[in-house]
Structure formats: structure tokens, C-alpha cells
């Protein structure tokens, strides 16, 4: 079955600390994975996708097929990073299968 | 330019009533998706349109839910005989997707549905 798991509902860190938001997936094929972010009172938006291998707002995510993981990382968290983060898998019909989300709270 | 818009932004209804939720995609986007965001369930796929046809309706939770798209543009999600468990934020997304490739999905602000 296709599934995305985000084990942490809430992750709280201090400003300047490293951040890692965990994501594991189950998919019987070559996965295409994404991180979406929803800031307070804003709409859901794409943060990054694994296939582009880019860094957005200091965030990176590496696909590890052996561990079926796609963890989101940032070396130094900023207060403006506080938001809801969703990991998502695209299936063969191009729809997104989302994890349950992790709320990141960056404290001053 | 204008993004995906949805109306109404909030809808409160009584159990048993029918509701219609509207999505206006970005002009020229051929693919349109409906998702539902509810407490404890996260974001769930409901239905996907390519043009006016719906090749994937697998996420519709019951036959009380239906959706249509006309003119390759506006889409309406209809929920008949609403139940309290239908309370959620309904999100619409569109993408310029052409077959064989992925394009980013752009999300609307959502419609918050509350069934009393």
C-alpha cells in the first residue's frame, strides 16, 4: 500500500538549532517525493521536490531508497520557519498522498 | 497573476443538508484536484480531473460525494445529506500538467465546512 508516515506531530526547537523533520514512505515503484509547507493563515505551497535536488530557504531533503526515507533538514532554524510541514508522495495518476504533517515551532 | 480561488471560504450547514463547494483553477491549468484536510486524518485525496473527465475518483468517501468540472475550468464538489464527519477543510489544487510529466500543484485557500 502507498503510504507516507510523519512520526512527529510537533517538533519544537530553539532558533539557530538544527532541524530534521522525518518522513518515511511505502511505495512499490520509483517514488517521487515532495515537501509542502503551510505557514499560518497561508495556503499550502510546495517547498521542494526530491527530483530537483535543490535547497529552498536553507532546507534540503535527500531521498534514501534503502531506508525509504525523505527527511527534511535545515542546519540553523529561524523563527519564520515555524509552520506545518507535509511530506507527500506522487502516485502513478499524479495525485499526492500526504503524511499527517509535522508542526515545527521555532522558539526565540 | 490570480491563483486558485475557492468559494465560499467558510460554510456552516445543518446535518442532512446539501452543500456545493466551488473551485476556480488557474487559467489554462488542465488538471484539477480536490483534497480534504480534517483533524486526525491529515490531507486526503478525493478526486482528480484532467480536462472535464475524472480518471481518478478513488478518494471520494461515499456516494454522497460527487464532483464535476465544466469547460475545463470551474469545478464543483457537492456533498449530499451532510454528516458531522464531513466537517473539514476542502482544498482544491490545479496544475498545468501535460501527460507524461509532473507539474507543480497550486493550492487554493480552502473552504472550511462545518456540519452542525
Closest Cβ–Cβ partner in B3, B41, B97 for A94? B97
Peptide bond into B8 cis (omega under 30): yes
- Chain B residue closest in CA terms to A42: B109
Asked if the model's pLDDT at residue A72 lies above 60, the reply is yes
Q: What is the pLDDT of residue B1?
A: 58
- Residue-wise DSSP of chain B: ----EEE-SEEEE-TT--EEEEEEPPTT--EEEEEEEETTTEEEEEEEEETTEEEE-TT--STTEEEEE-TTS-EEEEE-S--GGG-EEEEEEEE---TTS----EE---EEEEE-
Higher pLDDT, B40 or A8: A8
Q: What is the pLDDT of residue A81?
A: 97
Verify whether the Cβ–Cβ distance A97 to B110 is below 8 Å.
Answer: no
Q: Beta B65-69 vs B75-79: how paired, if at all?
A: antiparallel
Q: What is the pLDDT of residue A9?
A: 93
Q: What would the pLDDT profile of A16-48 be if each residue is shown by its tens digit?
A: 999 999 999 998 888 889 999 999 999 999 999
Q: What is the pLDDT of residue B52?
A: 92
Residues 6+ apart with CB under 8 A from B40: none
Establish how many alpha carbons lie within 13 A of residue A22's alpha carbon, considering only the half-sphere containing its beta carbon.
10
Residue A25 phi, psi dihedral angles, 5° rounding: -135, 160
Q: How far is A43 from chain B (nearest CA, A)?
A: 5
What grid cell was written down for B27? 487559467
B115 vs B17: CA distance, rounded Å: 9
B15 vs A107: CA distance, rounded Å: 41
Q: How far is A44 from chain B (nearest CA, A)?
A: 6
Amino acid at each position: 500500500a502507498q503510504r507516507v508516515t510523519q512520526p512527529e506531530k510537533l517538533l519544537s526547537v530553539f532558533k539557530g538549532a538544527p532541524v530534521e523533520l522525518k518522513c518515511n514512505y511505502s511505495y512499490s515503484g520509483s517514488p517521487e517525493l515532495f515537501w509542502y509547507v503551510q505557514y499560518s493563515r497561508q495556503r499550502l505551497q510546495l517547498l521542494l521536490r526530491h527530483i530537483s535536488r535543490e535547497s529552498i530557504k536553507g532546507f534540503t531533503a535527500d531521498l534514501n531508497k534503502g531506508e525509504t526515507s525523505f527527511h527534511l533538514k535545515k542546519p540553523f532554524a529561524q523563527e519564520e520557519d515555524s509552520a506545518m510541514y507535509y511530506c507527500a508522495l506522487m502516485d502513478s495518476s499524479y495525485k499526492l498522498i500526504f503524511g499527517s504533517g509535522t508542526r515545527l515551532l521555532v522558539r526565540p | 497573476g490570480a491563483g486558485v480561488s475557492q468559494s465560499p471560504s467558510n460554510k456552516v450547514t445543518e446535518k442532512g443538508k446539501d452543500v456545493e463547494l466551488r473551485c476556480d483553477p488557474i487559467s489554462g491549468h488542465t488538471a484539477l484536484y480536490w483534497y480534504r484536510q480534517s483533524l486526525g486524518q491529515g490531507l486526503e485525496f478525493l478526486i482528480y480531473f484532467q480536462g472535464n473527465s475524472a480518471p481518478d475518483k478513488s478518494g471520494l468517501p461515499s456516494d454522497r460525494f460527487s464532483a464535476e468540472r465544466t469547460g475545463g475550468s470551474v469545478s464543483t464538489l457537492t456533498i449530499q445529506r451532510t454528516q458531522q464527519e464531513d466537517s473539514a477543510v476542502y482544498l482544491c489544487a490545479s496544475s498545468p500538467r501535460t501527460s507524461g510529466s509532473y507539474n507543480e500543484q497550486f493550492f487554493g485557500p480552502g473552504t472550511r465546512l462545518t456540519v452542525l
